[in-house]
Structure 1
Amino acid sequence: MADDKEQRKLKFQLRRLVRDLSKKRARHTELISVYIPTGYQIQGIIDQLSTEAGTARNIQSSTTRKNVTGALERMLSHLRTYKKTPKNGLALFSGNVAEREGSEDFQVWSIEPPEEVRVKIYRCDQTFFMEPLQEQLEVKVVYGLLVMDRREANLALLKGKQIISLIDLDSMVPGKFKVGGQSAGRIARVIEGMANDFYKKV
């Protein structure tokens, strides 16, 4: 029960982070996203980001250069607070998210996701790269639904609270016949046979 509660808490934090960071947008390619997979050495990422910071000093635009190097330096400082990669890996985001051009509001976000990070990513773009985290928010458990009677059958998937219709089948089985005499029994058997064939088909 405690594990379920903790998982729900982590999912809530992840959903809020994804929602908030998805709204951030830079004027140039200067927002940094880093994903560290489970078991990967923190020092390897620190070395890579240090190299990227050195390369960023060659960016021609002074504003972009300042924002990229500033984001990398703050991410490096944050990374150095970790002795090792958390059990499920780590996702980090850094950048100048000031709304006014020319202003500075450098921030760093990090999260150990509820599921393992399986990819190693470094990306510098106008937006934060959120896809690996968004995938963890997708509903993993899917149920199949089948509703049927003699006239029709409906196949669907229940994914979270969403019902996704797949197939609607019409049986073509006739309804009741008002036929008397010797024909009534024969027609009833034919209809019953058609219904059974439809059930088998479904």
Structure 2
Amino acid sequence: MARYTGPTSKIARRFNEPIFGPDKALNKKAYPPGQHGRGRRKKQSEYAVQLMEKQKVKYMYGMLEKQFENLFHKAATMPGITGDNLLALLEARLDNAVYRLGIASTRRAARQLVGHKHITVNGEVVNIPSYHLRAGDVVGVREKSKSLEAINTSLSVRNSRQFSWLEWDGKEMVGKFINAPARELIPEKITEQLIVELYSK
């Protein structure tokens, strides 16, 4: 499975953003990790800035290099703006939808729920985190899994913020993927144009 299993706080500090969810380490150590984290840093090259942005998004959505590259090429062949297409494809991943719906507190946890067959799509169990949702697909919690403590805890502290491209029925524990979101609706701080420029070299 394509997933990062290393330390999360180090990565969050490298990008100075809570990539894997809220992280106290960012408040305590607001500088990059490593021996020279506090030291003077040289001005980054254009390539370094572009690479950092790509790596940030990869970690954020839990993907490895080849998988991300394939998704980018798919976005490039679609009509419209490549950067917007890329983010729309990322948001349409099943593990991301599970996270956005509040069934899991982080994308990592969402990936685990999908992999362990706790999630259904249109009534059928799907255990592929990268499964691509289409407009109208219904994502739900498997009947046998509705009593899982991890799911109920996550739903109990579910962020009140609603996403316009998703609908949620708390009583039935099902959500609907209405359509791929427009760029301005995605809350993450991502400069997708840097990624497009990197792959265009």
- Calculate the TM-score normalised by the size of structure 2: 0.22
Q: Which is higher, the Rg of structure 1 or of structure 2? A: 1
Q: Please identify which structure carries the higher helix content.
A: 2
